[in-house]
Amino acid sequence: MPELDPAAPVEPPLIPTTTLEPVDLVAAVEGPEPEAERAVRRGRLGIGGTAALFWLFLVVALALLAPVLPIDDPNTSIASIAKQGPGTEGHILGGDGLGRDVLSRVIWGSRATLLLAVSAVLLGLILGGALGLIAGYFRGRADTGLTGLFDVLLSFPQLILAVTLVTVFAGGGVSSTRRMIVLILALGVVSIPVLGRITRASTLSWCQREFVTASRAIGARNRSIIIGEVLPNVLPAMFSIALLGIAVVIVAEGGLSLLGVGIQLPTPSWGNMIAEGRSDLRDAPHIVMVPTVAIFLTVLALNYLGDIVRARFDVRESAL
Amino acid sequence: MILRRLAHLVIVLFFVTLFVATLTAMLPGDPVDAIAGFASPEQKEALRQDLKLDDPVYVQYGRWVGNFVTGDLGNYYSVTGGRPVADRVKDALPVSLQLMLEAQILALVIAIPLGVFTAYRAGSRFDKGANATAFALLAIPNFAIALVLAYYVGVRFGWLPVSGYVKPSDDLVEHLRRMAMPAIALAVGQIAVYMRLLRSDMIATLQEDYILMAKSKGISPSHVLWRHALRPSSLTLLTVAGLNVGVLIGGAVIVEVIFSLPGIGTLLYEAIQARQYIALQSLVAIIAVGYVLINFLVDVLYAVLDPRIRHARA
C-alpha cells in the first residue's frame, strides 16, 4: 500500500470517471441517432417534447384567458366577413359561414373541447383506475368479474357506444349543459375499460414486489397498501395512457359532432366548427381547416408526450 | 381453447344484446313519446300495444333477440306509417362492408412492403422518415383526412367525385373511383399502425438464427425477407388488423357521412337526426354483434395459424 503523500500529484484514475455514467451502447454501435428520437427513447423531453409542451401550454392558456383576450365575441355575426378567408383585415383567420370570427371561435371552441376531453378522461381515470386497482390487487373473483366487465365494454366499437349513449340520453332538443354532461359521462364510460385494463396490468406486476409483501407482513391494511404502496407506482402508467385518452376524446368529439351529437351549438367547439363548416367546404375551406389543424397539433403533442412518459416509466405496450 | 372462446363469445353476446335491447327502456320519459312524438294519442296507444313495452324486461329481451335473429329489425316511424328498417339495411350493409374491406386491403398492401423494407433497413434515413411520417399520420383523425381529400382532390382539382355510390357489379371502374377517397381516408391511420407493428416484429425476426442461416446459404435478401421472415412476423399484424375493425367501423360511419355513401353509417346518422330510436337500436346491434363475431374469428384464426397458442393456452 503506497503511503499517501499529499504533495504527490494526483494520478488520473485508470478508468475515466465519466465512463461510470451509463454508456450509450446503441449510439456506440449505430452512431449518434437524431436528438428527438433519443429523447423519446430515454423519456426525456428534447426539442419535440418541448415544442409539444409549449403548444399544449399555449392552447390551455388561450382557453383559460378567452374571456379577457382582445378577440371578437364568438357568436356575433359580421355580414361583411362571412366566408372571408384568413388575412381579412382585423380577422386574422377570417370569418365563418355566418360571419363569425374564426380565430375567436377556435379559441372559445377549445374551452368546450378541452373541458369535455379532460373531464371525461378524469372520470374514466378515477373509475377505471379504482376498478383496475381492485382487480389487480385482490385478484380472484373480483378480477374475473371486472375483467369481464372491461371485455363487455370493449366489445362495442368505442365511437358507436358513445354515439348510442349520447343519442339515447341527450338525443336532440336538449340544452347545451345537459348535452355536455351526457357527453362527459358517455365518453368517460367508454374510457373506463381502457384505463382499467392498464391499471390492472400494472397493479398485478407491482403487487409481486417485495415492498408490497413487506407491508402485508407487518399487517398493513389492504386499503393503505393500495393507496400508499401500489397507487404511486401505478400512476405513471395511468398518466401516460390518460394523455393518449385526452387525444382520443378530442378526436371523438369531432366524430360525434359530424354525426350531430357533439357539443351543442351555440357553444362553439372544435368538432362542431368542423361539422358546421362542412357545408361551406367548397367556397371557404378555412372554416373546416382551422379547427382541423388545431385538433391535429394538439393530438400530435399529446401522443408525443404520452410516448415520452411511457418510455420514461417503462410502460410496456403489451400490458395494454 | 375453442370451447373456452365459445363460452366467452356467448357471454359477451348476451351482455351486448341485453344492453342494446334495453336501450328503448332507457330513453328518458315515455319511450313511445320519444319514438313517435308526432303521433296522436290513439296511434301512440296502438304503438304501445304493438311494441309491448309494458312486458317485463326479460320477455322484451327474448322477443327482441327472436326478432333480430329472424331479420325483423323494427320500423322507421313517420306520420305516414312505418317502414321496415331491414329493407334499407339490406342495401346498406354491402356498401359498408365493401368500404371497410377495400380500406383494409389498401392499408395492408401499402403497409406490408413499407414495414418489411423499413425493418430491413432499420436506422436508415428512409426508415426514420417513414416512422416520423407514420407518427404524424396517427394524429390526423380520419374525418380530417376525408375533408382534406374532399376539398383538394374532389373540389379543387376535380379528379374524383366527392359523393355517391356505384355498385361494383354495375361498373367496377366507377365503383373504385367513388370508393377511392373514402377508402384512403380510412386506410391512412391503419397504414401507420400496421407499418410500425410489422417493422418491430420483423426486426425481432431478423435477429433469429435461421435467418442468419438462410443468409449464409446465399439466399437473396428479398427471398429471405418475403419467404422466411414475413410469415412469422405477421401474426401480431393479423391480430391487430382484426381488433382494428372496431376503429375501422367507427371511422367508416363518419367517412360514409362525409362522402354520402349509402352505408350503415349513413343510416345511423339519419336515425340519429330523425330520432328513430328503434332503427338506431337495430343498427347498433348489427354493428356490435358484427364486431364481436369478427374478433372471435380473429382469435380462432390466430390459434389455427400459430400452433404454439393452440396448445399453450388450452
The pLDDT confidence band at residue A298, using thresholds 50, 70 and 90, is: very high
Nearest-Cα residue of chain B relative to residue A290 = B144
Task: Provide the pLDDT for residue B98.
Answer: 92
* 3-state SS class at B38: coil
The pLDDT confidence band at residue A131, using thresholds 50, 70 and 90, is: very high
pLDDT tens track for A142-178: 888 888 888 888 888 888 999 999 988 887 667 888 8
The pLDDT confidence band at residue B155, using thresholds 50, 70 and 90, is: confident
pLDDT tens track for B230-267: 877 777 787 788 778 878 888 899 999 999 899 999 99
Task: Provide the pLDDT for residue A17.
Answer: 41
The pLDDT confidence band at residue B311, using thresholds 50, 70 and 90, is: low
Q: Which of B16, B147, B280, B299 to mutate to test the interface with A (most CBs of A within 10 A)?
A: B147
Q: Cβ(B254)–Cβ(A255) under 8 Å?
A: yes
pLDDT tens track for A63-77: 998 888 877 778 777
CA–CA dist A20, B98 (Å, integer): 60
Provide the 8-state DSSP code for A283. T
Which three three-digit cell numbers place residue A137? 390487487
Interchain proximity B272–A167, CB inside 8 Å: yes
Question: Quick check: A316 pLDDT over 70?
Answer: no
Taking each helix axis from N to C end, the angle separating A35-42 and A286-312, rounded to the nearest 10 degrees, works out to 60
A169, A258, A300: residue with CB nearest B257: A258
A304 vs B: CB within 8 A:
yes
- The nearest CA of chain A is from the CA of B34 a distance in Å of 9
- The nearest CA of chain A is from the CA of B211 a distance in Å of 21
pLDDT tens track for A248-286: 999 999 999 999 898 988 889 999 999 988 888 888 888
- Choose among A189, A194, A203: nearest CA to A236: A203
- Stretch B287-298: mean pLDDT: 87
The pLDDT confidence band at residue A79, using thresholds 50, 70 and 90, is: confident
- State in Å, rounded, how far the first CA of chain B is from the last one: 5
Please give the model's pTM, rounded to 2 decimal places: 0.84
Which B residues, 140 through 199, put their C-beta within 8 Å of a C-beta on chain A?
140-141, 143-144, 147-148, 150-151, 155
Considering chain A, what is the average pLDDT of its residues? Answer: 81
Q: Cβ(A310)–Cβ(A142) under 8 Å?
A: no
Q: How many C-beta neighbours within 10 Å does residue A224 have? A: 10
* A123-151 per-residue burial string, b: 16 or more CB within 10 A, e: under 16: bbbebbbebbbbbbbeeeeebeebbebbe
A214 vs B: CB within 8 A:
no
- Stretch B119-130: mean pLDDT: 84
Question: Quick check: A24 pLDDT over 70?
Answer: no
Question: Quick check: A60 pLDDT over 90?
Answer: yes
Task: Provide the pLDDT for residue A11.
Answer: 47
Q: How many C-beta neighbours within 10 Å does residue A82 have? A: 17
Interchain proximity B247–A292, CB inside 8 Å: no
Task: Provide the pLDDT for residue A294.
Answer: 94
Task: Provide the pLDDT for residue A20.
Answer: 41
B16 chain-A contacts, CB cut-off 8 A: 152, 155-156
pLDDT tens track for B40-91: 777 777 777 777 777 777 888 888 888 888 888 877 877 666 778 888 888 8
* 3-state SS class at A174: coil
Q: Which of A163, A175, A189, A274 to mutate to test the interface with B (most CBs of B within 10 A)?
A: A163
Torsion of CA B253, B255, B258, B263, to 10 degrees: -50
Least trusted range by pLDDT, from A27-36, A285-294, B66-75? A27-36
